[in-house]
Amino acid sequence: MKRPLIISWSQDFSVGVPQLDKDHKQLLHFINTIYANSTAMNSDNIEDLLSSMIAFSVKHFHNEESYMRRIGFERLAEHKALHDEFMEKAQQFLNDFRRSGKRVIGAEVSTFLASWWKDHILYEDQQYTTAGTSVGPR
């Protein structure tokens, strides 16, 4: 049986930087897997998934911010602030999950994650695609 998806990759999400696109696909995979576990009322893997997504997000944000720095992206400080806000919210979800006795997290968490990533990639990340070249992060 195929797992339900809350968000699917579309070429519209591409930022034209292969490594960053690969990272974005991985992050969407985390979100979809968290969603599938929460809709199946399966909390066994959610803590690990959230922790892994947070750790991967730290790496991805570092790569993305390094890329923006290299291309001279003017809105780097504002973009970094959005990343920091996301990290705080994701950590809050993880802490709430742990405090709740590991009850299955609700659809609102998956909805937040999917909505944030969709908006962030389509609106915020697309701004640096026009500012730089297709040189991947180092």
How many helices (DSSP H) and strands (DSSP E) are in the chain?
5, 0
Q: Which residue has the tokens 């991967």?
A: 56
Q: Which residues contact 59 (CB under 8 A, 6 or more apart)?
A: 23
Helices (H), 40-72: 46-71
**The pLDDT value given to residue 1:** 54
Q: Are 129 and 15 in contact (CB under 8 A)?
A: yes
Mean pLDDT for back-to-back runs of 10 residues, the chain (138 residues): 79 94 95 85 81 96 96 95 96 88 72 91 88 48
Where exactly are the structural domains of the chain? 25-129
Structure-token pair, residue 94: 């993880």
**CA 16, CA 21: separation in Å to the nearest integer?**
7
Structure-token pair, residue 13: 């999400």
Length of the chain: 138
**The pLDDT value given to residue 110:** 84
**The pLDDT value given to residue 47:** 86
**The pLDDT value given to residue 36:** 87
Q: Are 137 and 23 in contact (CB under 8 A)?
A: no
**The pLDDT value given to residue 132:** 58
Give the residue from 108, 122, 111 showing the smallest Cα distance to 5: 111
- CATH hierarchy code of domain 25-129: 1.20.120.50
